[in-house]
């Protein structure tokens, strides 16, 4: 069960290039790629011809070319080329997902595209100011329910104990952090203030 009408981080913006990237989001196969203009796009990772994953194809000037028989689809999922055939049927198209590049992330909408309101995407402007807010990023595949991950990240009092030798630092700075919690139309937002505490060392590995 997934909430589909919501924005999800599909990838870091710098993970996606003109080499297709396969990812499973809300249990659906998705292919992410950048077209010739550098614009990132997300399509269902399943060719409408014979079902091959588009992610094992390649990006050309026209779009993403299926590695099975060469049908090519643009960033909107419309078929733009069928080798050996001039006529392109109307229904030769792939499901396209709304995708927004913002603050170093690619945000995807897996639900009803008509309801995708980009103003509801969580902002994280610090990613755009790497001089004052340097950060390191990566992606982990976690074998477990996404709900457990949300639960984990909202319970940061464990940091001083589970991660005592890395990001945990002094356990009491985590336990005593001041929380500003606000209900939002979509859920909950909290700011967590750990005043006068040193940030974790820049070289940390979890
Ligand atoms: S399966 Fe994609 S072109 Fe045939
Ligand atoms: Fe943890």
Q: How far apart (Å, rounded) are the C-alpha atoms in residues 186 and 16?
A: 28
pLDDT at residue 205 greater than cutoff 80: no
Ligand 1 pocket, mutate which of 31, 46, 52 (most atoms under 8 A from CB): 52
How many CB atoms are closer than 10 A to CB 159?
A: 20
Which helix or strand (DSSP H or E) is residue 150 part of? Answer: helix 146-154
Closest residue to atom 3 of ligand 1, CA basis: 69
The mean pLDDT of the chain is 92
Pocket lining: 48 vs ligand 1, CB cutoff 6 Å: no
Average pLDDT over residues 15-25: 97
Atom in ligand 1 nearest the alpha carbon of residue 52: 1
For residues 113-131, give the mean pLDDT.
Answer: 94
Q: Structural domains in the chain?
A: 7-128 (2.102.10.10), 146-193 (no CATH)
Decide if pLDDT at 98 tops 80: yes
Decide whether any atom of ligand 1 lies within 6 Å of the 80 Cβ. Answer: no
Any atom of ligand 1 within 6 Å of the Cβ of 12: no
Is residue 19 predicted with pLDDT exceeding 90? yes
Q: Using the atom order of ligand 1, give the atom closest to the CA of residue 69.
A: 3
Question: For position 202, what pLDDT does the model report?
Answer: 64
Q: How far is CA 169 from CA 68, 152, 155, 206, in A?
A: 52, 18, 16, 13
Of 5-14, 43-52, 164-173, which range is least confident? 164-173
Is the Cβ atom of 50 under 6 angstroms away from ligand 1? Answer: yes
């Amino acid at each position: 069960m997934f909430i589909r009408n919501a924005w999800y981080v599909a990838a870091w913006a710098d993970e996606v290039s003109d080499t297709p990237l396969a990812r499973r989001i809300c249990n659906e196969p998705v292919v992410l790629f950048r077209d010739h203009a550098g614009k990132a796009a997300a399509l269902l990772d399943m060719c409408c011809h014979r079902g091959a994953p588009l992610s094992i194809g390649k990006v050309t000037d026209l779009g993403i070319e299926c590695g099975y028989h060469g049908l090519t689809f643009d960033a909107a999922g419309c078929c733009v080329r069928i080798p050996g055939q001039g006529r392109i049927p109307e229904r030769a198209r792939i499901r396209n997902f709304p995708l927004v590049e913002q603050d170093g992330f690619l945000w995807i909408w897996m639900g009803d595209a008509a309801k995708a309101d980009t103003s509801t995407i969580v902002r994280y402007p610090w990613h755009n100011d790497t001089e004052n807010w340097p950060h390191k990023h990566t992606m982990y595949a976690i074998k477990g329910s996404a709900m457990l991950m949300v639960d984990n990240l909202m319970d940061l009092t464990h940091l001083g104990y589970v991660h005592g030798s890395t990001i945990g630092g002094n356990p009491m700075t985590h336990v005593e952090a001041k929380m500003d919690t606000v209900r939002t139309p979509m859920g909950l937002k909290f700011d967590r203030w750990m005043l006068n505490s040193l940030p974790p060392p820049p070289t940390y590995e979890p």
